[in-house]
Copies of this chain bind each other. A is one copy, B any other.
Amino acid sequence: MSEVRDKASRAKQATRLMNGLTTEQKNEALALMADALIAESAVILEANAKDLERGRRDGTSESLLDRLALNPKRIAGIAEGLRQIIDLPDPTGLLLDDTTRPNGLNIRKISVPLGVVAIVYEARPNVTVDAAGLCLKSGNAVVLRGGSAALESNKAIIAVMHDALSRSAVPAESLQLIESSDRASVDELLKLNGLLDVIIPRGGRSLIQNVLKNATVPVIETGEGICHTYLDDEADPAIADPIVINAKVQRPSVCNSLETLLVHERYAARHLAELAGKLKELGVELRGCAKSRTLVPWMGEATEEDWRTEYGELILSVKTVSGLDEALDHIREYGTFHSECIVTEHAGRAAQFLRDVDAAAVYHNASTRFTDGFEFGYGAEIGISTQKLHARGPMGLPALTSTKFIVQGNGQIRG
């Protein structure tokens, strides 16, 4: 049996023991895991150093090395993340509906774990711990397939967490790490119907597209974010400028940051030059449409490709539009259903934008950077769904559950 099938089978087997766990037992395991990560920091850092050394040798970019790198402070932060999961309510065993039918049949709908969750991700060791913690709290077994660049770090982290679980009521086999680093191991994982209940890809566009195109196991698409902010004719510049700057500059690498600014032509005539200047000062490269460039001649030229690009860095494309309709058309064509914003003091146009834009989160007069489980008040998240089935937007613990109908009678038969 291949490593992938073997480990998925073990995870599936472990789900049989997960049903009987209490919230207290799961929380105890989370606390043990958090403690162990701190206690065994040295071992984890040693393994991480090997990944970093190989990464440097292979010419990995500095930004990737930075995401891969651990230090005592980062490990403490990761352990703290696990402890925060302890405080979140258990999403399973909730009574969602309770009906007694005229024939006396009692039908209850309760929340249950999904079963086995597979996560395919890139070289961020914190995802290993976050995903393990969220799946454990929601009663799921998890099969992790991280990027090969973080393999030594992940192996060390998993060994520490396995050891912690072996001292808890939670079966250590509920946590599985695929170590094969070839593409074939991912391809095999994507088709393990019957063993896996869902696959969640977390990473860049090519990773996600590969999972979407090749998986036969159900997938929750997480996402690419080509997010737009539309400055309406009646936008208040005192609000608009900080929103645009925050959405672009505060953390450009993340999916809820701004990629394309849409500006009403009258607003642009009055205010674009000043906003562009502020952005430039903050190190943002601007690429504009022809109209925008007549107003801000020093702006670079945006091509069709720019509208379709999630830069993930300090670049912003700018399009001047004739009004709300053109803005909506642009978002329909180039948006990725993530987070979209209108800045305006006009209630009617705000309402139309909020209704007609098809996205996980639609904003009026606030930065799209808020699309996040913590910022929404839902606690830790396993990703941000940009699809419409099952969960949409920031996915917290409830997104890791399914439901089950429990039907109890005393001999009812159908007439």
Hey, which bits of chain A sit against chain B, CB under 8 A? 15-16, 19-20, 99, 101, 105, 107, 114-115, 193, 197-198, 212-213, 216, 218-221, 236, 238-239, 242-243, 245-247, 250, 350, 354-356, 358-367, 369-371, 375-377, 387-390, 392-393, 402-414
Contacts and interface: CB of A to CB of B under 8 A. Distances in A.
Contacts of A197: 388-389
A371 B236 CA distance: 55
A393 B405 contact: yes
Contacts of A362: 404-407
A337 B413 CA distance: 21
A389 B115 contact: no
Most chain B beta-carbon neighbours within 10 Å: one of A19, A350, A392, A414: A414
Could you tell me the dominant secondary structure of chain A's interface residues? mixed
Contact of A405 (B20, B245, B376, B405): B376
A48 B151 CA distance: 62
A282 to B, nearest CB: 13
Contacts of A212: 193, 216
Contacts of A370: 105, 407, 412, 414
15 contacts: A114-B388, A239-B411, A242-B413, A250-B414, A350-B408, A360-B404, A361-B407, A363-B407, A364-B407, A364-B408, A366-B413, A367-B413, A389-B390, A390-B390, A392-B405
A101 B375 CA distance: 8
A390 to B, nearest CB: 4
Nearest to A401: B388
Contact of A250 (B365, B410, B413): B413
A388 B246 contact: no
Contact of A409 (B364, B376, B403, B410): B364
A246 B361 contact: no
A402 B388 contact: yes
Most chain B beta-carbon neighbours within 10 Å: one of A115, A221, A355: A355
Contacts of A219: 218
Contact of A414 (B107, B367, B411): B367
B411 A402 contact: no
A350 B115 CA distance: 21
Nearest to A236: B411
Contacts of A412: 365-367, 370
A371 B356 CA distance: 37
A402 B99 CA distance: 24
A411 B115 contact: no
A410 B365 contact: yes
Nearest to A409: B366
Contacts of A393: 403-405
Nearest to A15: B358
B115 A388 contact: yes
A405 to B, nearest CB: 4
